[in-house]
Amino acid sequence: MFTEAQIRFLKAKLRVTQEDLANVVFECRKKDDENQNLETRLKDTEEENTRLQRTVNLQQSQTEKYKMLSQEANKKTEGLQQEVTALEKVLQ
C-alpha cells in the first residue's frame, strides 16, 4: 500500500500537473484568439485584394479604351493634316 509520503508526493505531482494543464489550456485559448484575429485580418485582406483587383481591371479597360480613342484621333488628325497640305498646294 501507499505510504503517506507517497500520497503527499502524488498529490503534489497532481497539483503541478493541473497547473501545467491550466497553463497549456490558457496558452491554447490565447493562440485560438490570435488565430481568429489573423483569420479575420486575412479575410479582410482578401476582400480588399478582390476590390483592388476589380479596380485595376476597370482602369486597364479604361486605359485600353482611351488608347484606342487616342489612336483614332491621331489617324483623323493625320488625315486632316494631309487634307490641309493638299488644300494649301491647291491654293498656291
What does the domain layout of the chain look like in residue ranges? 1-91
Predicted structure pTM score = 0.63
Split at pLDDT 50, 70, 90, the class of 1 is low
DSSP secondary structure of 23-86: HHHHHHHHHHHHHHHHHHHHHHHHHHHHHHHHHHHHHHHHHHHHHHHHHHHHHHHHHHHHHHHH
Amino acid at 49: N
Listed in sequence order, the residues at least 6 apart from 10 whose beta carbon sits closer than 8 Å to its beta carbon are 2
| pLDDT tens track for 12-67 | 999 999 999 999 999 999 999 999 999 999 999 999 999 999 999 999 999 999 99
Residue 92: the pLDDT is 81
